[in-house]
Each structure stands twice: as structure tokens, then as C-alpha cells.
Amino acid sequence: MKEFKQVGEIQSLGNQELILAKSNLKQGYFYKIKKRAQSQQSQTHYVLIIDGSKSSKQHFHDIKKALKWGLKFITTHPKHRLSLIVFEGKKEMKWLLKEVQAEELRQQSADIEDAIHHVLSHYRYASLINVLESVMGQLDFSIATQFIVFSSQTFQLMEYEMDLKSSRFLKVATLLNQHSVRLDILSFNEWIPLNFKKWLEELNQMGQIHYCLKKSDSMFYLKRIMKNQRLTILLESGEIFLCRKGERIYTTEPLALEVMDDEVIVAFKQPLQISDSILGREASSLQDVVKEFYNQFAIYLLRSKSISQASELLAIHQGEILSKSIKEGCTDSEVLESMRCLANYQSLKKESSLSVLNLLECVMTDEASSLLWNRHQPYENVTPKIQAEEEDLAFLPSSVDFFEVVDWIFSNTKLNVSLKVKVEGFVEELTTGLKVEAYQFKTYTILLDGILRVEEIYCVLSPALKKRCKELKLIKKVLYTFNQEICVINLKKLPITHHLIYERYTPLEVSQMIYEVERLKCWQGLLKEMLLRRKRQLFTTQRLQEDARCLIKRRYHITDSGLYVPRGKKESPRLETEYYLARVVEWKAMEFKKEAEKRLAYEYLMNRASTEETSLEVILMDELKRVSERRKNLQEQVNLIRLSVSLQKVDFFKWDEQKVLPKTQMDSVFKINTILRGNMMVSTKQLLSLKVCENAYTVLVRCPVSSSGQEC
């Protein structure tokens, strides 16, 4: 056990044998954190570092509010010092304040807000490591120093070639530890690269990342940090459970924990190995603490989806109400309500079974509902801008505000979801001005790397779905246009996904679905190949007669159904390119015998053709339609489960083996390997005769710079 300079003490509450299940008895050692009052004479230099990138603008009011409190806090503690830095771009940083004390701060605080607002830039990314290197060389570390970073996009691209063993990172980490500088990150982005987390945990063990996903979080964490109401301990081994308001942590891995005043730590099997820092036993009754532990641990199990374990624990200590309610098939919210009553835990909230992905699934599969795309809603393009290679034709969308969403598209590897929109309009011949009615399909990415890119969607809802949305208070407003009632759904009130999406299936069922998708893929390929050969035979010697209407459509590159298909497509020229890091999680069927499956498919088709009077072409078209629809539905279901499991970080398959393998994917423009760290994690699982694998890695994706606005 490594000790840190503490601002509190650990007090022993005693030990007791804990019954976690009928066959699971563990000795529990209970400890409580006791805070030391902070002395007015103590000195701390707080260095507040603000990310000045464009993406931080949406969080500016939260940052400003937190900073206002921070400035007020410093003015009431005369011994403290404050530095304020804004960094933007890859090398630019600006000192707004440098080691000022309370009296000087009172005179300058009025101008700080305007200064921060002025320097917020249009840069997409910023490099924190450059700032840390520069600041560490300019500060006086004769007093305790605390770095607090407010950031949104800093870590998305921060030094793409980030090698945590490089001299730059090691130098910064060494200096942080040498001067006992704590580095806290207040991140407005819920995903941060794993390698940066590891660097912060392993090389600067006094640091921590705080996720500010709610408006009040940045203020909450800044107060906690600056008031110094914490104790940081490093648990190198053992099994512990931390009871915390609104959060419970159970771990058996080495972990640096920041604990707050009056929190209870439970160590299983053996006491904490920091006896010199532990005070004598408290005289209060241990029974009340143990009872609260059972309540908190049961809530932890329930939130971790270990329903049966939570049920057994409460059946032993609190009665059988919860276990009976589960057996009777109660909903999740009802189970949580039972949990609240049993544990008398008033702050436990009901979980909604609806999420963004659930809602999209309901709207897209409900025949009485439809999803619409508002052409005026803000949207930033993240795919290469494609334009038609036409010299004399142009597609003009109609002037309506809403277009129909005909499909939703999952990426088979990334954590992306897109909407396929049917845009109706005209194809105009530029030389004559003549127009022909047509339509095009456009794709809009609404979920990029697991992050929602639109705050609201527009739907025509069935009565049942509309009632459900009203009950959850999701309908922001209702628009009336062309005899349609269009509901504006607020997506910010919903989680992106929900555990019910994947809990409906077992790992074996999902692996069977993955194999079925692979089988249907073989059938689809064979059918297309046979149809292509058939069409070549039919049209080599004769050409279909075309009437005048067909000739006009051919001239305007419009298909029989009205789809405008340009002669060719090319990427639009662009002056600037951006990058974002995308997580790739790919599920595959291993040892699948493709050739054997193709032979079976061919034999089936030939047998059907010999026994039916229908022509072979009709049979092939009929089978292709059936197979394509079946594959699409199964692939969507697999991707929905994969996306939900990845976003909730659930080990769904309980992998048998995991190993790191090298992987290369070259960028066509800059000729560099776009795979972060040049490797991927390969996980495998054997389920009866089926074997599935997961390839997980992070890739750098190139996209165009585009401003928000109309896309249609």
C-alpha cells in the first residue's frame, strides 16, 4: 500500500463476518474517512487551465459559473494563489492570471470573464501536453500546487502518436510526482482514450478524471477539489467496496481511489495495509454500518444487472419481496421501486426502459409512425463531401421543410448510426432549364462514435407511441403542417442505449445470429452472381424497346423508380481536413465454411428450379429479396446489441481468450498508419460448435471541415 499526503484520516469501525449469499461468507473490515479541517494558514497554488477550442463554447456558461466560484474561494483564503491559463491550437497558450493572491485577484476578477470569452477560438483540437511542458518550467513549486483542467476535445486527438513511454510524457509525469502536483481533469467528453487514462493513473497517481456530463458537475467537482475535502489512497491488492452517495465502487484491481468525508470502505478477507494511518475504533455501533452496507451492496448488484444475486442477498437480510417481484416478471422500474422500499434508500431513481436507440427502433418499426428529417436543423457533415460528375445536370431539392427517413443504418464496425433520407426534387438541365421530377438518398450520421449529434428528432407518432412519449415528457412541441401532426422529441432526456436491448439475448443466441448473417451473406453473393450472368445472357443479343418517357429519363440519368443516379461521383475539393478518433468493435464468425455453404445454396436453387414451373430468373429474384431482407434485419439486430454492449462497456460474451495483435491501415493522403498504437485487441469465445471473435481498436478518421447548416 502506497501512502499519499493526506487531508484526512481513516478510522477503523471493526470487522464482522458478512453473508453475501447462502454459500458466500466473507470477513469484512469496515473503515470510515474522517476529514481534517483546512487551515486558513495553509497555502495552495491553484492552476486553472481552460481548453479554448471551439468545442468548449457550448460549455462556456458552466465553466464561467465554476470559475466565478473558484475566484470567490481564493479571495476568502489570503494565503492561496491562482493562475489562469487558456490554451488553443497546438502550441498557443495565454496566461490570464499568474500566481496572483487574494488582494490582487479582487481587483482583476471583473475582467476575467470577458478575457476568457475573447480568447475562445475556432481551433478544433488542442494539445494539453504542450501546455503542461511549458507551465511546469515556469512555476514556483515551493508551495503545494494543484492543476485543474477544464476540457472538452483535448484528448480526442491529443498528440496522435501518443506514446506514453516517450520522453515528453515521462518528463511531465516525473515532474508532477517530484513536486507532488495533483492533476485533475474536468472533462465534458464522456470518452477519453484509454492510454491517457492509464498514463494519469500509473505515472501521476494523484490525478483523476472527473466526467462533467450534467450542467452542475463542473461546479461540484471544482468545489470538491479546491476545498480539499478528499483523501487519495492507492490500493495495490485486495478486494474492497466503497459506499458513496449516488455511486458504489467494487474492485479487486490496483486502483487509486479518491474518497470523501464520512465515506465507508469495506475491505474483504484482510484489513487495509495502512495500519499506521488508521485511528482507533469508533465507539458507535457497527450493526448500523453493516446494515447500510447490505443495502448499498444490493443496490450495486442491481445496478450491475446481477438481479439474482441482489435478490438472494435481500432475501437473506430483508425478506423475499424483491425476489418474488422478479419471479412474477415485474419491470425494471418496479424492481427498483421494491429495492427502494426494502432498503429505505430515498434517492434511488426509477430507470426508464426507453433510450434513444429504443425510440428509433420503435418509430422505424411502427407502421403508423414515421421519422422525418428537418432540412433546416443544425448538422455538421462528418463524411467526405460527394458531388456529382455532371456538367449539364443539377439536382434541386424541393422547398418543403421535412423529408422522410426511409431507413436507419448501423456501421458494422464503428459505433455510428445514420439516417437514410429520401430527398425529393427535380433534375434540371442547365443549358435548357428543363426539369424532370426525381429523388435522391442522403445519409446523415446522428450517432458518431457513440456520441449523439442531434438534440431532437421529428416524428409522426402513432397514438400508443405518442402516449408513451408524453408520459416520459419527451415531446418538446408539436408542429402542424400538411395535415400532419409532427412531434419534436427531445433526445437529451434519454440515455443513448439501455441494458434491456442486449439482456433479451444470451451469448449463444447472439453468436447464432452472427453465423446466420454470415450464411445469408454467402447466399446473397451467389444469387447476385447468378442473376448477373443471367442478365448478360438475356441482353447480349436484344435491347428492350424504349418509349419517349424512358428516353427522357435516361437522358436525365433517372431510373424507372425516379431515383437520380449521376453519371459519376467525386469528392468535392476542400481546403481543410479534420480528424476524429473512432472506436472500432467488430464481431465475426470464426472458422465459417463459405465454400461449403455456397455449394448447399447452389444445390437448393437448382433443385427448386427443376421442380417448379417458374423461370430461374424469377426464382433467383424471389430468393434474393427474401435473403436480403432477412440478412438486413439480423444484421441490424446484431449491430444494435454490439453498439449497446460497447457503449455500456459490458463483457457480454465473457471472452475465453484475449490478445493484442499488430494492425495496419494506411491513410491514402498522408501515408501514415491510422490505427492508434498500431495494434488491436482480439477476443475469442467458443459456444458449443460456434466460435466468435471481437476485433477492437481505435482508428483515426479523416473528415471534411464543414459549417453547420442545411444539407439537403
634/587 Cα distance (integer angstroms): 13
In a domain, 668, yes or no: no
341/431 Cα distance (integer angstroms): 75
Supply the pLDDT for residue 410: 92
Mean pLDDT of 363-392: 75
Can you give the C-alpha Rg of the chain in angstroms?
A: 30
Lowest-pLDDT choice from 265-274, 314-323, 543-552, 591-600: 543-552
Mean pLDDT of 466-478: 89
Is-contact 262 283, C-beta < 8 A? no
pLDDT interval class at 242 (50, 70, 90): confident
In a domain, 680, yes or no: no
- On the question of pLDDT at 566 being above 60, the answer is yes
pLDDT interval class at 589 (50, 70, 90): very high
Q: What is the DSSP string of 96-153?
A: EEEEE-HHHHHHHHHHHHHHHHHH----S---HHHHHHHHHTT---SSEEEEEEEESS
- On the question of pLDDT at 265 being above 90, the answer is no
More confident residue, 306 or 230: 306
Kindly state whether residues 198 and 51 are assigned to the same domain.
yes
pLDDT interval class at 541 (50, 70, 90): very low
Supply the pLDDT for residue 503: 78
What angle (nearest 5°) sits at the alpha carbon of residue 526, between those of residues 522 and 532?
A: 145
pLDDT interval class at 316 (50, 70, 90): confident
Is-contact 7 275, C-beta < 8 A? no
In a domain, 344, yes or no: no
In a domain, 524, yes or no: no
* SS3 (DSSP) at 650: coil
Kindly state whether residues 115 and 24 are assigned to the same domain.
no
591: left (phi over 0), alpha (psi -120 to 50) or beta: left
- Strand-strand pairing, 24-35 and 264-268: antiparallel
More confident residue, 298 or 116: 298
Supply the pLDDT for residue 588: 94
Which residues, listed in sequence order, are joined to residue 693 by a DSSP beta bridge?
A: 588, 684
Residue 538: partners with Cβ closer than 8 Å, 6 or more residues away: 617
Candidates 126, 263, 129, 136; CA nearest to 200 is: 129
Q: Which domain holds residue 164?
A: 44-227
**Angle separating helix axes 286-303 and 332-343, nearest 10 degrees:** 180
Sign of the CA dihedral with 61 first, then 67, 71, and 77 last: positive
Report if pTM > 0.75: no
Mean pLDDT of 603-627: 87
Kindly state whether residues 51 and 26 are assigned to the same domain.
no
Specify the CATH number for the domain of residue 123: 3.40.50.410
- On the question of pLDDT at 409 being above 80, the answer is yes
454/153 Cα distance (integer angstroms): 18
- On the question of pLDDT at 460 being above 90, the answer is yes
Kindly state whether residues 77 and 217 are assigned to the same domain.
yes
- Please report which helix (H) or strand (E) contains residue 605, including its range: helix 594-611
Kindly state whether residues 29 and 83 are assigned to the same domain.
no
Supply the pLDDT for residue 552: 61
In a domain, 351, yes or no: no
Q: pLDDT for 379-398, tens place per residue? A: 766 655 555 555 678 888 88
519/594 Cα distance (integer angstroms): 8
In a domain, 403, yes or no: yes
- On the question of pLDDT at 539 being above 90, the answer is no
538/545 Cα distance (integer angstroms): 14
Q: Per the structure, how many domains does the chain have?
A: 3
- On the question of pLDDT at 158 being above 80, the answer is no
Kindly state whether residues 277 and 199 are assigned to the same domain.
no
Mean pLDDT of 563-586: 70
Supply the pLDDT for residue 87: 76
- On the question of pLDDT at 200 being above 70, the answer is no
178/172 Cα distance (integer angstroms): 10
Supply the pLDDT for residue 518: 93
More confident residue, 130 or 592: 592
Residue 592: partners with Cβ closer than 8 Å, 6 or more residues away: 515, 518, 519
Give the end of a domain, one of 496, 523, 546. Answer: 496
Kindly state whether residues 397 and 441 are assigned to the same domain.
yes
Q: pLDDT for 6-18, tens place per residue? A: 445 677 788 888 8
187/50 Cα distance (integer angstroms): 11
Give the end of a domain, one of 241, 260, 284. Answer: 284
Kindly state whether residues 215 and 251 are assigned to the same domain.
no
Kindly state whether residues 195 and 118 are assigned to the same domain.
yes
Supply the pLDDT for residue 683: 95
Q: pLDDT for 489-521, tens place per residue? A: 999 888 898 877 887 788 888 999 999 999 999
Is-contact 685 653, C-beta < 8 A? yes
Residue 161: partners with Cβ closer than 8 Å, 6 or more residues away: none
In a domain, 255, yes or no: yes
Q: What's the whole-number average pLDDT of the chain?
A: 75
Supply the pLDDT for residue 163: 52
Kindly state whether residues 245 and 215 are assigned to the same domain.
no
- Using CB atoms within 10 Å of the CB of residue 319, give its burial: 0 to 12 exposed, 13 to 18 middle, 19+ buried: exposed
Give the end of a domain, one of 208, 227, 246. Answer: 227
**Angle separating helix axes 307-317 and 286-303, nearest 10 degrees:** 150
* SS3 (DSSP) at 644: helix
What angle (nearest 5°) sits at the alpha carbon of residue 15, between those of residues 12 and 20?
A: 130
Kindly state whether residues 152 and 63 are assigned to the same domain.
yes
Q: pLDDT for 662-689, tens place per residue? A: 998 887 777 788 888 889 999 999 988 8
Q: For the chain, give the longest Cα–Cα distance.
A: 100
Lowest-pLDDT choice from 190-194, 585-589, 634-638: 190-194
Kindly state whether residues 404 and 371 are assigned to the same domain.
yes
pLDDT interval class at 526 (50, 70, 90): very high
Set of cell numbers at residue 87: 490554451
46/144 Cα distance (integer angstroms): 9
In a domain, 252, yes or no: yes
Set of cell numbers at residue 190: 464522456
